[in-house]
Amino acid sequence: MTNEHDTGFSAPARATPPWTDEAPTALLVLADGTVIEGQGAGAAGSAVGEVCFNTAMTGYQEILTDPSYAGQIITFTFPHIGNVGANTEDIETSNLAASSGVKGCVLRTKITPPSNWRAAQDFDAWLKARGIIAVTGIDTRALTALIRENGMQNAVIAHAPDGVFDLDALKREAAAWGGMVGLDLAKDVTCGQSYTWDETSWQWGKGFGRQDAPRFHVVAMDFGLKRNILRELAAAGCKITVVPATTSAEAVLARKPDGVFVSNGPGDPAATGVYAVPEIKKIVESGVPTFGICLGHQMLGIALGGITEKMHQGHHGANHPVKDYATAKVEITSMNHGFAVARESLPGTVEETHVSLFDGSNAGLKLKDKPVFSVQYHPEASPGPQDSHYLFTRFVELMEARKDS
């Protein structure tokens, strides 16, 4: 069953995978009425969210625990998800008191038993334990083509082991959900109170280390922090104090940081920015070196006078080429965002530093007269290439320069 764009699904339609005779135990119901049938895995139940696709070939556990995916249903374009199982070291959410916020995942093939020396748990059992709904047996290439053509879709993902669904209710729920615009999701994934961090990055044969001789103190504003961001900062010589998303600039600066890190996170930056942007402005005005990524980059862009806009299909994957204007080098980056800073909205005091070579969207900026910079992507790269680790060094150099002056 195809439509004029040859996506494999027509809307409204009911699409059953042609390669199986099994009765469906899971559905993906799009807001336009399209019903995509498959086999359930993970938790039973239903959840509403925005469907995106991720092109990474590795790191599914890190992706599913990245708080930036809160409110989303992830379609994995790589077919074999779950084959290396799950473990306790690859969890990325730094707030263990809350889930990552991901609503579900869509998979091409059924989950197989794990085959990896690091596996501590079967992936299906891990999904159940974290309350994540999965649907398998889906033509993810067709679904990805649909998203590329029509944009990220609002949908309900549902898993009923007995195969019984209230389809009309699921369609109404999918159609009624308002989408990501206007949603402040950072408050759902941020930490409940401040804490310190000194764990450094993983090394073969040694595991994770400890930073016992830090040269700098960084306050990290948690809008959905990932553990490997904190580890990279610690490895660069920093002691980190993590503070909740709603922390005031006065409280941040009272800790006398050498630098401030504005983290990644989910949702609409304009919505989270209602309370965060005024505080970010005060931090920028203080002259303390400031480094933002992802949601932090977007809110920094707003704080500096720009605006953000919803993207058609977003950027989600570990193979995104970005050009650094300062060095003219191209780096392959990890990205996960559905909003972007509109470069034409940035004032003359702001310089664009990086650009996406996929679609030309803004991927970095800096303030010309203060030690403030940010990038749209995830330099900690978990999962993904390590081309962008130099950005943590840039941040350290700004803190060194300020100390020397």
Is 389 designated active site?
A: no
Q: Which of 159, 297, 316, 378 is catalytic?
A: 378
Give me the torsion for CA of 69, 222, 185, 86, rounded to 10°. 30
Helices H / strands E in the chain, number of each = 10, 20
Is 378 designated active site?
A: yes
Q: Which residues contact 107 (CB under 8 A, 6 or more apart)?
A: 41, 76, 79, 81, 82, 134, 135, 136, 137, 138, 140
Q: Say if CB 194 and CB 242 are below 8 A apart.
A: yes
Q: Which of 37, 173, 279, 380 is catalytic?
A: 380
Is 5 designated active site?
A: no
The separation between CA 90 and the C-alpha centre of its own chain, rounded to angstroms, equals 15
Q: Which residues contact 53 (CB under 8 A, 6 or more apart)?
A: 74, 75, 76, 77, 140, 143, 144, 147, 313, 316
E strand spans, 294-387: 308-324, 329-341, 350-356, 362-367, 372-375
Q: Which of 52, 105, 191, 294 is catalytic?
A: 294
How many Cα neighbours within 13 Å face the side chain of 257?
30
- Residue 61 tokens read as 């556990």
d(CA 159, CA 353): 44
- Active-site positions read 294, 378, 380
